[in-house]
Amino acid sequence: TAEALMRSRFEAFRDGDAGWLLASWHRSTRPGSLDLSTNPKWRGLQIVDTVAGGPDDDSGIVEFRATYLVPGGGVEVQQERSRFVREGGRWYYLDAIG
């Protein structure tokens, strides 16, 4: 599902796995490379909302909040609505929307 891919991508960001992130990115929006050297220390993921993105869908939206540690202490939150598409039975991250 789109949500399962979102969770997997969060884990890849947390673990610094640029290879998996690029492989899960749709070819039409995938960057040529991904530098995670300044990646923050990701702490947690909360799924806020999903629109479609289920086993029988070809697209979906997942809204999430991800928390990360900031230098010097404290926690920040990144909130995003992400679009996903399924092609050939496989889900891909497309982009972030408004």
pTM score, whole prediction: 0.94
Mind listing the pLDDT tens digit for each residue in 56-85? 999 999 999 999 999 888 999 999 999 999
Predicted confidence band at 13 (pLDDT cuts at 50, 70, 90)?
very high
Predicted confidence band at 98 (pLDDT cuts at 50, 70, 90)?
confident
Question: Where does 1-98 show beta strands of DSSP type E?
Answer: 41-52, 59-69, 75-87, 90-97
SS3 of 13, please? helix
Number of other CB atoms surrounding residue 74 within 10 Å: 8
- Kindly report the average pLDDT of the chain as a whole number: 97
Q: How far apart are CA 9 and CA 67, in angstroms?
A: 14
Provide the pLDDT for residue 72.
87
H-helix or E-strand containing 1? Answer: none
Provide the pLDDT for residue 81.
98
Q: How far apart are CA 9 and CA 21, in angstroms?
A: 6
